[in-house]
Amino acid sequence: MIDAGAMFVDCQASPAGQIIILNGVPRSGKSSIATAIQETFDGVWMNLGVDHFMRMTPERFQPGVGLRPGGERPDLEPFVATLYLAMYDSVAAHSRIGVNVVVDVGHHDHYSRPLGILSRCARRLSGLPVLFVGVRCPIDVVMERRHATWGVDPGDGTVPTPVRRWQEAVHTPGVYDLEVDTSVHAAEECVDIIRRRLSAGPAPSVFRRLAAAAYGAADER
């Protein structure tokens, strides 16, 4: 018989789980890296990324945390900010009981007005081990992947406005603990780079600086 009480004590005594945030544009290869981390890293790794939260979001509030840059849906923006905070609270809860978490996300602040979501989310992870990874990918490679996956190709070499907006907005401010380029390295190679960085030992994450930017802002509840 499972001793639920003992399980609770063990969880409370466990060291905090490692958190890896993969930030990049759609089709940059974040999901492949997240999957490789889950399959090859020691321990249990939960993927609490944007795609999973979008699938849980009611249709009338879509795309939720996947709302793209450009300020297209100001009516959804308050809800999007709340969802991001809820997502990061879930990440924090998993880490605090010793569960490792990988998060693939595309943070930007190109809404109808700045919402400061990234710094507010970073504040939710205060005191927890976070590695913030920038997943870079040139826009021409992103376009090749879009075409390979969906057959999307303007045919004249132009880049659709939404794709360009993602490329311009996601890596702002562009401060990371580590960066990888999926046009140069396969997902497994990117994972090896991340593993080596973690093996080097704990170091203060830039999330501390990002979290500090949230103080003094309007209370986000």
In a domain, 43, yes or no: yes
Report if residue 94 sits inside a domain. Answer: yes
Residue 167 has pLDDT above 80, yes or no: yes
The answer as to whether 48 is a domain residue is yes
pTM for the full predicted model: 0.88
In a domain, 3, yes or no: no
For the chain, helix, strand, coil in percent to 5 are 45, 10, 45
The answer to whether residue 153 scores a pLDDT higher than 70 is no
- The CB density around residue 82, as the number of other CB atoms within 10 Å, is 15
Q: What proportion of the chain, given as a percentage, has pLDDT over 70?
A: 87
User: What digits encode the pLDDT tens for the residues 59-91?
Assistant: 999 999 999 999 999 999 999 999 999 999 999
CATH classification at residue 191 = 3.40.50.300
Q: Is residue 221 part of a domain?
A: no
Is residue 221 packed enough to be buried (19+ CB in 10 Å), middle (13-18) or exposed (0-12)? exposed
What pLDDT, on the 0 to 100 scale, is given for residue 13?
60
Q: Is residue 9 part of a domain?
A: no
User: What range defines the domain where residue 28 resides?
Assistant: 16-212
Inside any domain, residue 217: no
Residue 2 domain-assigned (yes or no) = no
Structural domains counted in the chain: 1
Task: Name residue 135's beta-bridge partners.
Answer: 180
Spell 202-212 as b/e; 16+ CB within 10 A means b.
eeebbbeebbe
